[in-house]
Structure 1
């Protein structure tokens, strides 16, 4: 790495790139040093972005679904053309191995194409024709027309800085809305590159897309609390989501927040498959995923064998240079977060858990870790760890497993491993979660399956189709 950062990025407000009042120095997690200096917006600049988005609403409302679909296809083409640039940046600022980061650009491009297809189908999918059905209204007819809701505030996370951001922006544009994008201050450069792709690929109305990276303490409440925002699409922690909801007032909320996904392993499960799924579900991207398998609830009769298989599988995960294709695993987003994960591991061991593998920390790196015989009341069983830990605890009866799965404030995802179809469906129905995967780690495709949680895990569902529903309003024209 050169001494100077590779990238210097500005804000994008009202059709222009602008300097910020401050700068975010983005750490290079692959080689050390600083990979980018990204402008940080002030509260006044956030206000400018909101004003620009509000002004652009009229022009956006006049665009046709066909026109917007063509935009989205063009964005997908240009994103694919710059795939290598995006992949390198995701490795550097998010610490994701190249073997995983290289899949992000084509995945994001497919999401834009999915949104293009939805845009072309807006009137048929989201529109309605109604006839009067009550006495005195027999001759009435009505067209229920979908319209853009207005301005969508997109609050993106650090863990999937391209795919999740796309999952917010693509539906917003497909529905004909203006966008204000606030990326994570830990991974703003990928969002800057995406903004450049969007604004270079198509001739959008000025103010239709605005990019305002910055510190949440400076601009978060300015953005979330403004009456010009009509929908907030957010992926983040439960605490941050709760704060945004308190500030936002009467807006549509599409929030995918924290998770603590249980994987329930019954005695008749295919243990080799379950071990592989639980390992990947726990340590993929260091466990820094809301849908990560955070706790493994194993029937007492298979606990020891399952732990053995998870350990053998996890030992095969390669730690190394993030730009080597064989590397599976890298650092966490920063040292402070790594310290929190290490503390949860140590507390579990102090409570009586067996440390089977890993457990050590070096800076921002936490070893892939297996904990066995974790007490059911250990904090790591009930808290979103966001770390590379397979924490295995036991249960005796089906009802006990369900109660334990439902015993905390999170209700995002879960997995059930069994070869008994009736049991799988029975347990899936009783688990409080936005999604339950049978015989696999939580997964939701490219946005075709609605993704989101209950309780502290969020409100409404993201996904291309599901998000568009929250980014439209309906007008009834009665004849």
Structure 2
């Protein structure tokens, strides 16, 4: 499939109108090199217009019915399905994702809109009676109403699926949405805006405001017309937004440094396969990626050998080849960051088993070799900081207590996994690890969001998943008789 230079020239979508901004952002083609698209970049004037539009429709949206909102999200799901191949190609080019993974992301996005319809239908009110002395005759109807306006801040690594996970529940719950996508990957979100513009979603209920965080991020996050913020991104960015936002509902899924704890009684073949895939899938650019493998000393060496063999199957290739597993990193700066962490580990005494280098391709994008580190010292930065690269870092511990102590040293507490054939140990260790989700005998995975996920400490606030997210975007009102 040939490159289509500047095929997309997206604009802002504000209060039901397509408008230009004061600047434009060029989007790099990570499959073929060069630029393949550009999108208008908003300034404060456009951010203000988006906020004003959202404010103006809060009351009308509150009065819409569930069947109306179900129709909106089902129309959006149908629009995504209709443009699935176009969206998949865009995700390949803007995010550097292999075509098979990109198609999966598009299907996931459509399904999230469909399931948002199911979730909002199931959200019923309550009827309560007074049970304390003096309130015997009280009767109350407890309703769910939208919080108002939701600011959605989305990441580059899942530019459509994560956007769907935020926008679908917000619209289904009757809120106005202001969407600010990642500047590196705004085109799939721009197509989503086109899809929404062709539905029955009222003008002002959805506003698309791409642009650099330095220009509009604080302006949007700090405005008191925003009632909730949904954000997926780095911990440092999340902390900054939280400081700016004030008294709003915060819903943040932030950085990860997921450990895979492998005990001596584990199925090592299964553990190695999960550790390899969990480390390098989408070049490790996932918050739930296995960032460190904490192996009991008796199986460390064998586990490293097995992971090394598993990584033989992960090679960089043509992103439009159905058999390609691995693509480039999002940018040169990301490749440099991963290399900095790998170099730090090696300088501290880690054994570089394979990989450990990056290169610029003829297309001008940057790939990092699938990398395996063994005997990583406990003070190496890669065991404590988010790497976002295709690196499996294996370290050794003597026992369960040492494993738990090491796992919890990182401030990042999003995901973890435990590999053992001892049922009691599995539940005991999973219960002891400080993380939002712990998977037993498998790599972390958030899937469609059927199961709540989210981080503790520096890894976030609240829980995601369609059911959980919708609950964050409504508030209870008691009407007492």
> What band does the TM-score fall into relative to the shorter chain?
over 0.9
TM-score (norm 2): 0.98
**Match in the other structure for 2:268:** 271
Residue among 139, 142, 155 paired with 2:140: 142
Inter-partner Cα distance in structure 2 for 1:3 and 1:439: 43
Could you report, residue by residue, the CA deviation over 1:203-226 in whole angstroms, capped at 9, with x for unpaired residues?
221100000000000000000000
| 2:314 maps to 1:317 | yes
Task: Provide the C-alpha distance between the structure 1 equivalents of 2:443 and 2:6, rounded to a whole number of angstroms.
Answer: 38
Shift of 1:122: 2.0
Q: CA deviation at 1:40?
A: 0.1
How far the C-alpha of 1:475 sits from its partner, in A, is 0.9
Q: Report the counterpart of residue 469 of structure 1 in structure 2.
A: 471
Does residue 440 in structure 1 map to residue 442 in structure 2?
yes
Aligned position for 1:192: 190
The residue that corresponds to 1:25 in the other structure is 26
Q: Which runs of 5+ in 1 are unaligned?
A: none
Q: Distance in 1 between matches of 2:171 and 2:290?
A: 32
Query: Scaled by the length of structure 1, what TM-score is found?
Result: 0.98
Q: Does 1:209 align with 2:206?
A: yes
CA shift, 1:227, in A, is 0.2
Query: Would the aligned equivalents of 1:29 and 1:95 in 2 still touch at CA under 8 Å?
Result: yes
8 Å contact from structure 1 (residues 428, 436) kept in 2: yes
CA distance in 2, matches of 1:4, 1:266: 51
Paired with 2:315 and 2:409, the residues of 1 have a C-alpha distance of 34
Distance 2:373 2:48 in 1: 48
Counterpart position of 2:232: 235
Paired residue for 2:221, among 220, 224, 232?
224
SS in 2 for 1:313: helix
C-alpha deviations, 1:248-296, integer Å up to 9, x for none?
Answer: 0000000000010000000010101101111111001111111110000
Q: Is the contact between residue 274 and residue 442 of structure 2 (CA under 8 Å) also seen in structure 1?
A: yes
**How much does 1:445 deviate?**
2.4
**Contact (CA 8 Å) 1:282, 1:294: kept in 2 or not?**
yes
For 1:85 and 1:445, locate their aligned partners in 2 and report how far apart those are by CA, in whole Å. Answer: 23
Partner Cα separation in structure 2 for residue 313 and residue 190 of structure 1: 32
Helix, strand or coil: the match of 1:103?
helix
Match of 1:460 in 2: 462
Q: Which residue of 1 aligns with 2:323?
A: 326
Aligned to 1:154: 152
**In the alignment, which residue of structure 2 is the partner of 1:170?**
168
Match of 1:74 in 2: 75
Aligned to 1:428: 430
**Distance of 1:133 and 1:405 partners within structure 2:** 47
Pairwise CA distance, 1:462: 1.2
Match of 1:59 in 2: 60
Aligned to 2:390: 388
Q: What CA deviation, in whole Å up to 9, does each residue of 1:14-55 have, x standing for no partner?
A: 000101110000000000010111100001110100000110
In structure 2, C-alpha distance between the alignment counterparts of 1:410 and 1:344, rounded to whole Å = 16
Matching of residue 300 in structure 1 with residue 297 in structure 2: yes
Structure 2 stretches of 5 or more lacking a match? 361-365
Q: Note the alpha carbon deviations across 1:115-171, whole angstroms, 9 max, x for none.
A: 000121222xxx222111111111111011000110000000000001000000000
4+ residue segments displaced more than 2 Å: 1-4
| 1:181 lines up with 2:179 in the alignment | yes
How many residues are matched?
475
Shift of 1:2: 5.8
Q: Kindly state the Cα deviation for residue 3 of structure 1 after the two structures are TM-superposed.
A: 7.6
User: 1:69-127: CA deviations, max 9, x gaps?
Assistant: 1211111111111100010000000000112111111111111111000121222xxx2
